[in-house]
Amino acid sequence: MDTCKVISEQNAKDLHCFTTGRWLWNEKQQLQNLFTPFDVQALQEIAASSIEAEKCVSITKRGKGGSNRTFLLTMDDGRKVVAKIPYSIAGPQYYTTAFEVATMEFARTVLNIPTPKVLAWCADSRCSVGSEYIIMEVARGNRPADVWDDLALEEKLKVTDRLVALQKKLFSVALNCYGSLYYATENIPGALPAQLVGNIPEKIQEQVATRLVVGPVTEHDFWTKERAQMTIDRGPWMQPQDYVTSLAHREKAWIQQHAIPKPDDATMTQNCPTSHLCLLDKYLQVAPYLLPNEPAILTPYLCHSDLNPANIFVREPILTLPEGFAELGSKEQSAIEAQMEQTIICDFYQTRVAEEIPLLNRVFYQEFGMLRCWPIQFVGDAWDDDIIRLRDSLIQIEKHWEEMGFGFPCPVHFTEDELRVHDEETIGWNNIQGFWDAISPSVARDGFVHSDMYEEAAHMFKYVRNWGLEHVTGKVKERFEHATLMAADVEVEAVKAGGSADS
C-alpha cells in the first residue's frame, strides 16, 4: 500500500518532541523522557493496513497523555484512527503496552464499556516502527474536561450519572487474583489464568479463562530505577495482604542494595537508610491489619486509578446562599455559585453511588478508612519522596489503635525520642510543603509550566524561595534551602530561554 510522502524534517521533529510546555529545572532530562522516536512512515503504513485503507495522508499530534503521546492519522478515504506511542518513562517495556491492550479488550467485551477497539499493536520496540505502539479506533464524543465549563447544571448531572454507570460496570465482574491483565498468548512469566468470580455466563467465563491471564503489575513504583532489574514480587497475588506487604519488601530490598545517602542531608532521617529500614519493618508489623475485614471489599475488581472519590466528595447536604450574597460583586457571586454547583454535583454523585453501587459506597465510608490507607499509600517511595508522611501515618495508627477496635496492643511503638525527632522534622517538611503550595498554581512539582508562563513562573519561584529563606532558621532552614536548591539558577535560565513558546 502507498502512504503519504515523507513529512518534512521539522514536522517529524514536532511529532517526536514535547513542544507544549517548559520546565524550570532539569528541562533537558524531562524533554528526553518525553521524546518518542519512531518511524513515521512505518506507523502510517500499519495504521492504513489496520483498516484496509489505501494510504494514510496525514498524521498530527493529538495531545500529551500521562504515559504516551497520541496521534490522529487520517486516511485517503477520510477515515481516522488513533495511534499511541509510549514515553520511555511510561512503565516497564513490553508489559505496559501488553497490559493496556488486554485491559481495553476486557473492558469492551466483558464489561461492555465502550472503549475504542484496538486495531493493531506491538509491545516490541524492535518492530518496524522502532517503538511499541497501539493503533485503535477514534473514541466517539467529547471529553467532559473540554466542554465542562460550557455545560448547564442539568447536563453536568447527566455526565455524573454516566460516570456512576461506568463504575457500576467495573464492579459487575470480579477476578480471582490481584495483578495486571494480559493475553494468554503473550506467555507472561508467573501469570495465572484469569477466572471470573460471580454470576457470569459460562461462555464468557470460558472465553476469559482461555484468552486472558493475570500477571505482574505495571505500577511505576515496581519498575522505577534499579527496581526494573531486581527480582522482586510484582504479583500476581492471591491475597490482598500479600500485595500490601510486597510494597515494603520491595523498598527494603532497593534501599539495602542501591540507596546512596547524600552528604548534604546527613542530619536528617530522610537520608538515613537505617531509619527507612526500621520504619518499613514497623509498617510490615501493622500491614496485615490495615485492610478491612469485609471480604467483599477486598475482592479483585478492575479499577480506574483516576476515579478518586477523595477528590470529589463533600459533606454539605443542604445549600443556602451566604448572608450578604446580593451585595457582592458579580465576580464573587459567580465564584460562590460555581462552588455551590460543584457541591450539588458531588452530592448527586454520592447519592447515585449509594443507590447503584452499595459496595463502592461502603468502601467510601469505611470506618478509619483514610487512616488505614495512608501507610499503604506512603510506603511506596519514601526514600526519593519523603519519610515524614509514612512515619506520621504509622504514628497515627499507634495513636488510634484502640479506637480502631483491635483487641490487642498495637504491634508498633514510637519512643518519645522518635516522636521528638519527627516533630522537629515535620516543621521543616511543613515549610517545604508551604513553599510548593505557594507556587502550585503556576509550577508543578517537577517544575513544569505552560510555555507562555515560563518567565513569570521563574521569577515567582525564586521570589517565594528567597522569602522562605528569610523566615526560617536553624536545621529547618538548612533542609528548606536544600529542598528548594533548584530555584537558585532558575531566574538566570528564564532570561536565557526568553520564555520561548516551544521546547
Q: For position 10, which CATH number holds?
A: 3.30.200.20
Range of the domain at 206: 174-238
Whole-number Cα distances in Å, 392 to 58, 269, 437? 53, 13, 20
Same domain, yes or no: 420 and 488:
yes
Residue 350 lies in a domain: no
User: Is there a single domain that holds both residue 2 and residue 68?
Assistant: yes
Q: In this structure, are 131 and 33 located in the same domain? A: yes
The shares of helix, strand and coil residues in the chain, as percent rounded to the nearest 5, are: 50, 10, 35
Per-residue pLDDT for the chain (503 aa), expressed as one digit of tens each?
444 444 555 466 789 998 888 888 888 899 999 999 999 999 999 999 999 999 999 999 986 667 889 999 999 999 999 999 999 888 999 999 999 999 999 999 999 998 999 999 999 999 999 999 999 999 887 777 777 777 788 888 888 998 999 999 999 999 999 999 999 999 999 999 999 987 888 999 999 999 999 999 999 999 999 999 999 999 999 999 999 999 999 999 999 999 988 765 545 778 889 999 999 999 999 999 999 989 999 999 998 665 433 222 222 333 454 566 566 667 666 776 677 788 888 999 999 999 999 999 999 999 999 999 999 999 998 898 789 999 999 999 999 999 999 999 999 999 999 999 998 888 777 777 777 777 677 788 788 888 888 888 888 878 877 877 787 777 667 767 776 776 666 654 444 443 333 33
Q: Total domain count for the chain?
A: 3
**DSSP secondary structure of 71-109:** EEEEETTS-EEEEEEE-TTSSSTTHHHHHHHHHHHHHHH
Co-location of 126 and 201 in the same domain: no
**Nearest alpha-carbon partner for 90 in 104, 81, 77, 100:** 100
Q: Which residue has the cell 519488601?
A: 249
Same-domain status, 106 and 184: no
Cell digits of residue 430: 511543613
Q: Is 469 contained in some domain?
A: yes
Q: What is the pLDDT of residues 385-430, one digit of tens each?
A: 789 999 999 999 999 999 999 999 999 999 999 999 998 888 777 7
- pTM attached to this predicted model: 0.85
Q: Identify whether 96 is part of a domain.
A: yes
Q: Are residues 211 and 130 in the same domain?
A: no
Within-domain flag for 22:
yes
φ, ψ dihedrals at 502, nearest 5°: -125, 155
DSSP state of 178: B
Whether residues 90 and 15 share a domain: the answer is yes
Residue 61 lies in a domain: yes
